[in-house]
Amino acid sequence: MDIKIAENASELGRSAGAAAAQAIREAIASKGSAHIILATGTSQFETLKQLISENIDWSKVVMFHLDEYIDLPVTHPASFRKYLQEKFISKVPALKAAYLINGEVDPQAECDRLGKAITSHPIDVALVGIGENGHLAFNDPPADFATEKPYIIVELDQACRQQQLGEGWFKSLEEVPPQAISMSVKQILKSKIIICSVPDSRKATAVKNTVEQKVSNLYPASILQQHADCRLYLDKNSAALLSKNASPVA
């Protein structure tokens, strides 16, 4: 795990987005196409802003979606399909393909559809974040580290739902869906490069657990310690609780 600490969220996003763009360009140069995973949420605002400003042949890029609520209309402000359409897809030239999660259809059938697709598209670069409860995608603690299924149906815990409310995506806790479709932990780890953007002081405890705890499904993002090329982008606020000269324990 390579830890990079920026002064603020904007600098973090510029660095993470530029690194992602370079990895995408290298994949295209070496094999003619690139396959990426995109996350959503406030942690990704600056990273995606930088990514779309980069010089990339998007017609050679296949995009997969990390997670989405079940039974939430695409018109809802919290819809991650809506987020990606507005903040990414509409701002770049046509992609080779975009696999968005539709949480409004049969969820198991959707998991199967996406699982079949991603199995034939090895991922070059995954852009992810870490939740306040330490989740990776919507894999809340205790996360399933064992399943081989690429996409799974998950229950959202109280802390996760509270975070979504606190970020302003919903008007009440009752409005936050209790279930979601999420890429599994094992599928995320199959990505060649993982770029993890985590700004903000409210993520500081989760960051400390990710980096300094032993790998455990109680701290889902701690599994990133075991990835061969995970780049963790922090700002001073999210890194505030790290021990000096902190390094992963695994």
Give the span between the Cα atoms of 216 and 117, in whole angstroms.
29
pLDDT reading at 220 higher than 50? yes
Residue 211 — very low, low, confident or very high, per pLDDT cuts 50/70/90? very high
**Within a domain: 35:** yes
**Within a domain: 31:** yes
pLDDT reading at 61 higher than 70? yes
Strands 230-235 and 125-128: what pairing?
A: unpaired
| pLDDT value of residue 51 | 97
**Within a domain: 122:** yes
Beta-carbon contacts of 32 under 8 Å, excluding residues fewer than 6 positions away, are: 60
| pLDDT value of residue 41 | 86
Q: Scan for tokens 């995606």, then name that residue.
A: 48
- Which residue segment(s) compose the domain that 224 sits in? 2-235
**Within a domain: 105:** yes
- How far lies 80's CA from each of 77, 203, 249, in Å? 8, 20, 33
pLDDT reading at 104 higher than 90? yes
- Residue 27 sits in a domain whose CATH number is 3.40.50.1360
120-159 pLDDT, tens digit each: 999 999 999 999 999 999 999 999 999 999 999 999 999 9
pLDDT reading at 66 higher than 80? yes
* Whether the model pTM is above 0.85: yes
| pLDDT value of residue 246 | 57
The count of domains in the chain is 1
23-39 pLDDT, tens digit each: 999 999 999 999 999 99
**Within a domain: 243:** no
Is 17 within 8 Å of 51 (Cβ atoms)? yes
Structure tokens given for 7:
């002064």
**Within a domain: 250:** no
E strands of 106-174, at which residues?
Answer: 125-128, 151-155
Structure tokens given for 62:
């296949």
**Within a domain: 240:** no
Provide mean pLDDT across the span 210-224.
98
Residue type, 131: G
**Within a domain: 242:** no
Quick one: what percent of the chain has pLDDT higher than 90?
96
CB-side exposure of 117: number of CA atoms within 13 Å? 20
